[in-house]
Amino acid sequence: MSETGAPARERATAQMVAERAKVSRVAVSRAFNPHTSLKPEKRELILRIAQELNYTPDRAARALVSGRSHLVGVIVPDVCSPWESQEIDALTTALQNEGFATLLFKTQTDMSMDQTLLTYMKGFNPDAVIAFVENIKPATLARVLDRAVPIYVHYPLEGQPETGVLATDKTLHDRLNIMQRNGIEQAVALLQGYGARRIAYLSGLPRSLASVAREQTLRAVMADRGLDEPIVFPGDFTYDTAYAATVDLFRVGQGADAVFAANDVGAFGVIDALRHEFGLRVPQDVKVVGFDDIEQSHWKSYSLTTVKIDLAERVRALVRLILRRLNDPGAPAFVETLQTRLVVRGTVG
């Protein structure tokens, strides 16, 4: 009896659902797996009866039998900025459609991973872990993972020897390579075509390997096109820092014909500083290019020209890496590659 005097409700089992639906227990199990073949009307009947009985599969028991937890760990440096929040939302939706739940882990400010969180991760025994920061070595993750092979999002420098954590750590890991040069070349060509010669670069966080690769790629592209080195002024991917840094560049420094920002939010700060602090017009007086193509980039107040990382393609590639690894756990490293491209709007012209 419960404290209220009412009898405790017996927990429903797969056998109870099977008996009510007049099917086998195997059929009940298959009904809860969207990737197994089962007649639609039979699946619908089983799921309806399961709902009536308040039955849900015991994930822990299924994990013991199958060796699969249906959990995917995601390690991010930030969860509230527009790019990260949009990516987490899209990735979580895609993973849920494939029958996975998401475990979100946030790095410390220096993009390292707290050892306690690594212990928690091990306890969940995820099927896969996606690291959106390269600062956490594959060997570090391998020590706390059972069978999962970590997946890294990487920004290699095209035509140059690979450096950094992923080059020196030979622990097995899968990788999504984002090739930045194509989109950056298109952006520089467009700026140059409109007469821009003094191009400033608003950087991101110095500890962000993606930002470092972005700046190095921009320098190489500008040199190849006969332009002087970019005027680099420090940012951290945030609006407020970009606004203040732009004020310093144009009030203390010599300004620029164009500003290439390491991300779109930074570009928004540049645009607003130019307009509200100096009365400059974009693009007539100063041209501005961003990076990422977040949803807000097409808003009429900004209409930002930006280098696009296709979010939908990026998420599909990550899901493919997870599924390929689960289907072939002993395979060598899997690699997916995505190109960037320029989206031209109103801030260059």
Asked if 69-179+311-340 and 181-309 have one fold, the answer is: yes
Least confident of 23-27, 102-106, 267-271, 327-331: 23-27
Q: CA 276 to CA 256: how far, in whole Å?
A: 17
| pLDDT given at position 59 | 54
Q: CA 267 to CA 264: how far, in whole Å?
A: 5
- Region 227-248 average pLDDT: 96
What is the chain's mean pLDDT, rounded?
A: 88
Cβ neighbourhood burial of 340 (10 Å; 0-12, 13-18, 19+): buried
With a pLDDT cut of 70, the percent of the chain lying above it is: 91
**293 confidence band (pLDDT: 50, 70, 90):** very high
Per the model's pLDDT, the better-predicted residue between 155 and 5 turns out to be 155
- CATH number of 69-179+311-340: 3.40.50.2300, 3.30.450.20, 3.10.20.30, 3.30.70.920? 3.40.50.2300
| pLDDT given at position 60 | 46
Q: CA 72 to CA 321: how far, in whole Å?
A: 12
CATH 3.40.50.1220, domain 181-309, yes or no? no
Instruction: List pLDDT tens digits, range 154-202.
Output: 999 887 767 666 767 788 999 999 999 999 999 999 999 999 999 999 9
Domain ranges (residues) in the chain: 14-57, 69-179+311-340, 181-309
- Region 93-98 average pLDDT: 94
Supply φ then ψ for residue 306, to 5 degrees. -155, 155
* CB-facing half-sphere around the CA of 223: CA atoms within 13 A: 7
- Region 213-228 average pLDDT: 96
Asked if the peptide bond before residue 283 counts as cis, ω within 30 degrees of 0, the response is: yes
Residue 4 has pLDDT above 50, yes or no: no
| pLDDT given at position 16 | 86
| pLDDT given at position 10 | 66
DSSP H or E segment with residue 304: none
DSSP H or E segment with residue 271: helix 264-278
Instruction: List pLDDT tens digits, range 106-152.
Output: 888 777 777 787 887 888 889 999 998 877 888 888 888 878 899 99
Residue 3 has pLDDT above 60, yes or no: no
Instruction: List pLDDT tens digits, range 259-286.
Output: 999 999 999 999 999 999 999 999 999 9
Sign of CA dihedral 186, 192, 197, 198: negative
